[in-house]
Structure 1
Amino acid sequence: MPLTNTPGAPAPTQTRPFREGLVSLEPPRLLGSRCGACATTTFPPRAFCPACRAVEGLEQTELDTRGRVHSFTVVRQAPPGVAVPYVLAWVDLPADQVRVMATVVGVEPEAVALDQPVELELTPFATAEDGAELLGFRFRATERGVAA
């Protein structure tokens, strides 16, 4: 599945990440940091390496778009305006040895499974004061248990 905005949504006049430095739009990727001293990768990007404490030699890196559900919960109560139930998961990105917390879509909450393959997807998050559509990220189930 291509990494795009939500299917069927009208094309906005301008889009940007909801937080600079967190995602790349072209191509759609999460942005992390990689330590030149010990090769530890983190998300979100950090000003120092949590493994070796290096403050120099950190470089921005694009993370893999494919991952697997490490653990999850089905959220059934949320503030007004937030649709429930939804799945909140820790997603492992094995190629980068990074774990990311995000929602998982494309599968009924009761059908989510540990180790389920998922793929990064950008999605509208909010509208900025200047009218730009702000994009966030989530993961879409790609196999077993996928909604029809």
Structure 2
Amino acid sequence: MSMSDNSFRPDVFRAEPPTLLGSHCGSCGRKAFPPREVCPSCGEPSLGDPVELSRQGRIYSYTVVRQAPPGLSTPYVLGYVDLPDDGVRVMSRIESVRDGDVRIGAPVALDAREDPGQPEPKRMFVFRTGGEPA
């Protein structure tokens, strides 16, 4: 498996192309991330294969992290991203293509990057501001 396909969590994220996987309730239609066995809205079992979620979203809220465990460089931005097409909110690292792009309401695109916290090369999901995914 190439590093580009080596997701840190293949049950919720495909690295190539970057794709988040969620669940979809057959009863009420709600989507959830990460995938759930029971719908968080109506309580019905969420059966079926995972569904691909939108790669486009908007920043709902964020914070700048200035302290982290060894091996993780700071500062970095952590925030919630709304995926309006799916009605889902995702917590993710947010990376900016240009300084100043990180702001509430800014459009973002899903992307993948190497996860520095893993002993073997793995890819994690991030959202990027200011343009298309790298």
Q: Which runs of 5+ in 2 are unaligned?
A: none
Name the counterpart of 1:141. Answer: 129
Q: CA deviation at 1:111?
A: 5.0
CA contact (8 A) 1:32 1:60 kept: yes
Bigger radius of gyration:
1
Aligned partners of 1:13 and 1:140: how far apart in 2?
20
Change in CA separation of 1:111 and 1:65 when aligned onto 2, cut-off 3 Å: closer
Identity of counterpart residues, as a percentage? 42
Deviation by residue 1:22-67 (Cα, 9 ceiling, x = unmatched): 1123432100001010011000001110111111545411000011
**Which stretch shifts more, 87-96 or 21-30?**
21-30
Name the counterpart of 1:55. Answer: 45
Aligned partners of 1:58 and 1:29: how far apart in 2?
18
Name the counterpart of 1:40. Answer: 30
Superposed CA RMSD: 1.9
Q: Which runs of 5+ in 1 are unaligned?
A: 1-11, 144-148
Name the counterpart of 1:122. Answer: 112
CA contact (8 A) 2:82 2:88 kept: yes
TM-score (norm 2): 0.84
Number of aligned pairs? 127
Aligned partners of 1:26 and 1:18: how far apart in 2?
12
Please list every run of at least 4 consecutive aligned residues from structure 1 whose deviation after the TM superposition is greater than 4 angstroms: none
TM-score (norm 1): 0.77
